[in-house]
Structure 1
Amino acid sequence: MSIGSTKSLTQINDERRPRSFELPQLLQARTGKMTRELLLNPGDHGLGMTPESLRAETTTVAACGYCATGCGLRLHVRDGQAVGLTPETDYPVNLGMACPKGWEALEVLDADDRATHPLLRDANGELKRVDWDTALTTFTERLKAIQSEHGNDSVAFLSTGQIPCEEMAFLGALAKFGMGMLHGDGNTRQCMATAVTAYKESFGFDAPPYTYDDFQQSDCLVFVGANPCIGHPIMWERVLRNPNSPEIIVLDPRRTETAMAATQHVQLRPKNDLAILYAITQHLIASDLVDHEFIAAHTTGYDELASHVAAFTPDAVGPAAGISADEIRRAAETIGQAKAASLWWTMGVNQSYEGTRTAQAMINIALITGNIGRPGTGANSITGQCNAMGSRLWSNTTNLFGHHKFESPEDRARVASILGIDVDTIPTETGWSYDRIVEGIRNDEIKGLWVIATNPAHSWIDRGDFKVLLDKLDFLVVQDMYASTETARLADLVLPAAGWGEKEGTFINSERRYGLLKKVRKAPGEALADFQIFRAVAAYWGVEDMFADWTHPEAVFETMQAASAGRPCDITGIDGYRQLDQCGGIQWPWSREDAAAQQTPPQERRLFADGSFCHPDAKARLIVDNITPMPEPPDQAFPILLMSGRGTVSQWHTQTRTSKSKVLRKLYPERPYVEIHPTDASLIGVHNGDTVSVRSRRGEVFVTAMVTPTVQRNQAFIPMHYDIINELTLRHFDPHSRQPSFKDCAVAIRKA
């Protein structure tokens, strides 16, 4: 299938791009000075389209850059600039649909607060415009000075799930192999670390097994801590297209939009999901609704699982969880009797202090019922950011490049050989997790921090504490497309970056599909693609020879392919960007052997159809654990449990981009609000629309009361998108994934 009805921009780029794009075209690397050509026209070097290629009107399809659904958007280009877009009808992900964020993807590029020039904080504490040479010289001298005084590991980076795989690969390799940093992590730690850890331990690899067609093939869908109607509306559209009149079971404390459409809403008390899933498992086993043949052939740990859940009977779990035992039995029997049951989760599970074990409880249910590897089945994590999976594979943070292991001499030698670098430049241990880097700042172990395309001064848990810690740093660098983010405003140096539509590369969506990002606009002012900034940093740092072959994103993609060979995520069979464009993206794995056997990749492919998993014995692990108490339960002083999550379909994360669109702003409340149950509101004398104080042990905020029965008594909910939410949240983490538990803290609410 060819997505482009006209000559694609990828084809145009491939024909016009010099295949030997050498570093001197960008930098006079030996002297560390930017060339006049780059300074005068920074948006057109090394990435994407030349002006000549865009004179004619044309259209092209690229993957959306918001969430990990990975929709295809048809971009309409005139005189070198994208002037509009429409959802692509033939793209296998969205089939002609788009959410409001996708429709407004171009609009947010024109915001007045774009970062257009490097900014450096002067002696008076003000950020002032400087040229790129000054910015890169300052970057290099300040960070090298910190390393010289305090050691290489005194400088760290915090990366993202928002930039293409090739840029993540470049950053991770540059920081860890070129600049000597040991510690670096991504904001994917805040959204997907739990799912990653669960999959690694259970399957032997970070391997979401499903394809979007499973939404339409299931006759029973279970959503735990997930509200795809709001968070991932295109996926929810797939559910609505399901022809099987499926049972939809939702486990959620709130009566969300998804729960309203469910056939069974299990409205549990918060943080009882693990116990309920164990109770469902117990009832499945007790009722003999399990696949004994599959269990024996493809899993280990069944006897331990059965023994562990024996005490979690529906009668024992139901009352404590705020539901009836019959609700648990009904849900279990619905799953066990289904022809094809699928279990889905997002942040309600991942962002929990026992999220890893909760995710694995769903994996256990899928495995013991044989609901894996077949159409409509699976234990399926829905990814958040557009390229969180790219971060998981290629960012060189929790895994060595290409999902290798830092601790493995064989893996280090293989990666060194592929990259053509000295194996001794590769660290022999995984660096610190995000929370440990933050504690490193507190303990004066981290003195310099490089933040790329993320906004932790808004998004990190216990935000007030984190902002104080940022002030302790000797040097904070923020690289972002907007100069107005909460983190950028605290920086010593701001490096202006191009955004989606202003550079090229690949994203990996929730169903493991590599989709193509295309450059259809010039970045404003002197902003550069992150890829070009990394090339420039490499030159100024003096390690340009290490990255001599990293000349443009597709060259890095070829290196990624080499590193993937023989791995579960093998992509050696992809015939470059051109084939990604023609096929509407390609799911991993797609190896040379796959390509030789079948020239065109099937659009819907799921993992583990043969029952073979990624552990050495090819069997999946059934993993259980003890229930742990809530770290900060409500009490007399703070009687309300505060939850957070996605608010409306028009908001996304910290609103760094969505707030720039007039259309999107009209679709959500401008002022932060808290959802309160009518009885609780009555007890404190609050009416809908009143201003209320929400106070935790860490801070106090003032928001609008939204009185609604969609939350239960003694519970409240504030959307995560407003910067006030993390003034309240409690700093605690899943012990296995080190992911923050954002969705539970005790608060008091009163009328302001």
Structure 2
Amino acid sequence: MKSHQRKPEILRAWNGTKTAELLRSPGKFGLGQVPDKKTPDATTSMVCGFCATGCGLNIHLKEGEAVGLTPDTRYPVNIGMACPKGWEALAPLQSNERASQPLLRSSRDSQLEAVDWDTAMKAFSSKFKAVQEKHGKESVAFISTGQICTEEMAFLGSLSKFGMGIKHGDGNTRQCMATAVAAYKQSFGFDSPPYTYQDFEESDTIVLIGSNLCIAHPIMWQRVMRNKNQPKIIVIDPRKTETAVAATHHYPIAPKSDLTFFYGIAHILIANGWLDNDFIAKHTEQFDGFIEHVKTFTPEFVSQKSGIPAEDIYELACMIHEGKNVSFWWTMGVNQGYEATRTAQSIINLALMTGNIGRPGTGANSITGQCNAMGSRLFSNTTNLLGGHDFANPEHRAKVCEVLEIPDEVIPDAIGMPYNQIIDGIESGSIRGLWIIATNPVHSWINQGRLKKLLGQLDFLVVQDMYSTTETAVHADLVLPAAAWGEKDGTFINSERRIGLAKKVAKAPGQALSDFNIFRLIAQYWGCGELFKKWTSPEAVFQMLKMLTNNQPCDITGIEDYQMLDKNGGIQWPHPAGAELVDNQRRLFSDNQFYHPNGKAKFHYEAVKPLPEPSDNAFPFTLLTGRGTSAQWHTQTRTGKSKVLQALYPKHCYVEINPKDAHELGIESNSMVTLKSRRASIEATAFITPTVSPGQVFLPMHYSEVNQLIQDVFDPYSSQPNYKHSAVALFPAKKINQTVKQSQQVGHT
């Protein structure tokens, strides 16, 4: 009998064992461990599972189960602080919308019905194999996440690509961090955010670009507030965000004029000789070409394009020159653009040319979004081969084969398609089966109407999630119920490269399994279980991942085990074998050595491209999107389940409109308005505020209707979508009664 036809050990145990007994079984089936009911009340610490700040939380246990939490005062990230999401981290686990058993649609027109795991796994394997047999191995793809544990990401990427023959797979980190990955690789030779959070406290000049730190990463903002150097805090953002209000300087540049703006800053620095010439000569290359490139970006030209007066541009260049420790920080306002990689590199160039890198309080620093986006970047087999290796490099493939004890021929010799090309593949018919893990693209992906139609063209759609009610799960042919953060063990890697522990402190509902164990089941039913015989538990996988990083920039061979991570409050990579863990706040490039073969960083630059969708008479407004509150997270899949967090944020979609525009259009505060793009139209409540400039409107990304409006445009190097700039029209909707108006009133959060 073939291995995929037998019930694997884990499933045989499940079928014959009570749920609670199995889940408390001490690691026999790799399911983790919750302390027994007889265990005295206790406290354990772990990292938060929301954003990539990676805060430490104390989880308080009663009779062995989590009943509450408080911020960890000893953890070097948050030092006893937590944002609203952190305080409510346990609440989403209790939702009655949790996926608690597999759900299968027997035909395209039927409803999802509960089935057992054996039936679900047979359907998963038989349906996807049928697609591959009919249309080729590459006709099945996966879309993953930055939310599951590193060990689970590695298992998924290895199972799919090495065991199932799935070449094309990507993560939703393509939506947030792909630009930073591409920029760092090209500039530094490796995906290497150089900073530590301590740099927030040691800079004398902090430049925040497209980053509303107060709202998006409030604990990082608190680290800024701990800075004793009375720093200049400079915000470059079209909106007068909460961070801009709190800053010492705000430059409200025209949307997507960033690249021109930073080339203009470089022009002034070069023209005045405000450079670290010794650093440039010894540790960089391609600077002469960059000098020539920015000659035409005069203050007058840049002022015309950016809307910032020439004297103000000069003022900013002076502050960068006069700062002793200047740090540059960017996030989605830069990453989510049609020329985002070159924009990120224009920031990196400023740090390089002024020598503001490798020293305390400096750096060209990309702030990550999801809790484990860095784990996805390094270990998910999406942007590179495991551990930052190259699929096309035979030596790298041989190393992976040796560590994992797998044959060379199972590893593809080229990376698969990115997210947007997978979606295009559904339209062209080359992708016929799709497996979506811990992400909600029907909400989060651009041009939603197109995506919804395309999902209906698939032969088989599997959604693996902790909830069965997401906008994406309701389209699935098969739903696999997954355990959530707090219900499984593993590691996350935060923005500053700190590897921290997630722990199992609660039981998953019903028959839900950790993603790790779902992958174990799939391996057995698919018939490739023998290939993954060493993948017995998350910590066993962590030990293999350590060996894969040997001699890589992200080398963590010096981390002994989970206990070492727990004891030290997480550990930043790199930490190679034999290294002494002296300081748990470490930055990269203190030796001025980068990861290109010659040890030098590279200046990258390119001609500025025109806007892909400029405003015109039919669509006169520029739509901006972003985080609207620190109380909600991305698609609200989890935070929307917390009554406390819901109370801190308007329930209905609202749009920020400048008072001048509202007056001209006859729009009143809290009235309903219609926003229309070339793709769709939506309604929202008007919030009239001077924080947006005339001609611009802002929608928070958390509402499901927002991404219907966004265009299908991508950065050519990172394939990251251009979320931050679309042309829209705005006009009053029909009048609504006063009761509804009062229920939808919004405030500036």
Q: TM-score range by the shorter chain?
A: over 0.9
Q: Which residue of 2 aligns with 1:675?
A: 656
Indicate if the aligned counterparts of 1:43 and 1:528 stay in contact, CA closer than 8 A: no
Whether 1:36 and 2:16 are equivalent positions in the alignment is yes
Q: Which of 634, 654, 657 is the equivalent residue of 2:638? A: 657
Q: Which residue of 1 aligns with 2:78?
A: 94
Work out the CA distance in 2 between the residues paired with 1:688 and 1:31.
Answer: 57
Q: Which of 619, 639, 643 is the equivalent residue of 1:638? A: 619
Deviations 1:295-324 (A, max 9, x none): 000000111111111111112111221110
Indicate if the aligned counterparts of 2:483 and 2:513 stay in contact, CA closer than 8 A: yes
- The letter for the 2-side match of 1:660 is K
Q: Which of 590, 593, 596 is the equivalent residue of 1:615? A: 596
Work out the CA distance in 2 between the residues paired with 1:30 and 1:503.
Answer: 16
Indicate if the aligned counterparts of 2:260 and 2:305 stay in contact, CA closer than 8 A: no
Deviations 1:709-741 (A, max 9, x none): 000011000000100111101110001100000
Work out the CA distance in 2 between the residues paired with 1:607 and 1:37.
Answer: 49
Cα 1:59–1:484, aligned 2, differ >3 Å: closer, same or farther? same
Q: Which residue of 2 aligns with 1:114?
A: 98
Work out the CA distance in 1 between the residues paired with 2:445 and 2:16.
Answer: 39
Tell me how far 1:337 sits from its aligned partner: 1.1
Q: Which residue of 1 aligns with 2:547?
A: 562
Indicate if the aligned counterparts of 1:632 and 1:745 stay in contact, CA closer than 8 A: yes
Q: Which residue of 2 aligns with 1:497?
A: 482
Q: Which of 662, 665, 670 is the equivalent residue of 1:684? A: 665
Q: Which residue of 2 aligns with 1:59?
A: 43
Indicate if the aligned counterparts of 2:23 and 2:32 stay in contact, CA closer than 8 A: no
Q: Which of 520, 523, 531 is the equivalent residue of 1:538? A: 523
- The letter for the 2-side match of 1:116 is S
Q: Which residue of 2 aligns with 1:9?
A: none
Cα 1:54–1:707, aligned 2, differ >3 Å: closer, same or farther? farther
Which stretch of the first structure deviates more once superposed, 454-463 or 46-55? 46-55
Work out the CA distance in 2 between the residues paired with 1:175 and 1:318.
Answer: 50
Work out the CA distance in 1 between the residues paired with 2:163 and 2:19.
Answer: 25
Indicate if the aligned counterparts of 1:650 and 1:658 stay in contact, CA closer than 8 A: yes
Cα 1:31–1:160, aligned 2, differ >3 Å: closer, same or farther? closer
Tell me how far 1:36 sits from its aligned partner: 2.0
Q: Which residue of 1 aligns with 2:204?
A: 219
Percent identity over paired residues = 57
Q: Which of 462, 468, 476 is the equivalent residue of 2:453? A: 468
Whether 1:736 and 2:717 are equivalent positions in the alignment is yes
Work out the CA distance in 2 between the residues paired with 1:28 and 1:481.
Answer: 23
Which stretch of the first structure deviates more once superposed, 31-40 or 566-575? 31-40
Q: Which residue of 2 aligns with 1:710?
A: 691
Task: Give the secondary structure class of the aligned counterpart of 2:281.
Answer: helix
Work out the CA distance in 2 between the residues paired with 1:304 and 1:90.
Answer: 48
Task: Give the secondary structure class of the aligned counterpart of 1:592.
Answer: coil
Task: Give the secondary structure class of the aligned counterpart of 1:429.
Answer: coil
Q: Which residue of 2 aligns with 1:191?
A: 176
**TM-score, length-normalised on structure 1?**
0.95
Task: Give the secondary structure class of the aligned counterpart of 1:93.
Answer: coil
Q: Which residue of 1 aligns with 2:313?
A: 328
Q: Which of 576, 587, 599 is the equivalent residue of 1:606? A: 587
Work out the CA distance in 2 between the residues paired with 1:472 and 1:359.
Answer: 37
Tell me how far 1:27 sits from its aligned partner: 5.4
Q: Which residue of 2 aligns with 1:308?
A: 293
- The letter for the 2-side match of 1:71 is C
- The letter for the 2-side match of 1:37 is T
Task: Give the secondary structure class of the aligned counterpart of 2:349.
Answer: helix
Task: Give the secondary structure class of the aligned counterpart of 1:120.
Answer: strand
Task: Give the secondary structure class of the aligned counterpart of 1:504.
Answer: strand
Whether 1:241 and 2:221 are equivalent positions in the alignment is no
**TM-score, length-normalised on structure 2?**
0.95
Work out the CA distance in 2 between the residues paired with 1:52 and 1:749.
Answer: 58
Q: Which residue of 2 aligns with 1:697?
A: 678
Cα 1:533–1:365, aligned 2, differ >3 Å: closer, same or farther? same
Task: Give the secondary structure class of the aligned counterpart of 2:17.
Answer: helix
Q: Which residue of 1 aligns with 2:493?
A: 508
- The letter for the 1-side match of 2:169 is G
- The letter for the 2-side match of 1:398 is T
Work out the CA distance in 2 between the residues paired with 1:601 and 1:484.
Answer: 47
Work out the CA distance in 1 between the residues paired with 2:622 and 2:111.
Answer: 40
Tell me how far 1:54 sits from its aligned partner: 6.5
Indicate if the aligned counterparts of 1:299 and 1:619 stay in contact, CA closer than 8 A: yes
Task: Give the secondary structure class of the aligned counterpart of 2:170.
Answer: strand
Q: Which of 31, 42, 58 is the equivalent residue of 1:74? A: 58
Work out the CA distance in 2 between the residues paired with 1:33 and 1:490.
Answer: 31
Whether 1:343 and 2:328 are equivalent positions in the alignment is yes
Work out the CA distance in 2 between the residues paired with 1:646 and 1:288.
Answer: 39
Gaps of 5+ in 1: 1-22
Indicate if the aligned counterparts of 2:623 and 2:725 stay in contact, CA closer than 8 A: yes
**Residues 158-237 of structure 1 correspond to what in structure 2 (within 5 A)?**
158-237=143-222
Indicate if the aligned counterparts of 1:87 and 1:96 stay in contact, CA closer than 8 A: yes
- The letter for the 2-side match of 1:414 is K
Tell me how far 1:327 sits from its aligned partner: 1.0
Cα 1:652–1:54, aligned 2, differ >3 Å: closer, same or farther? farther
Q: Which of 373, 386, 391 is the equivalent residue of 1:401? A: 386
Work out the CA distance in 2 between the residues paired with 1:467 and 1:675.
Answer: 27
State how many pairs are aligned: 725
- The letter for the 1-side match of 2:465 is D
Deviations 1:578-606 (A, max 9, x none): 00000000000000031xxxx43421100
Work out the CA distance in 2 between the residues paired with 1:93 and 1:554.
Answer: 23
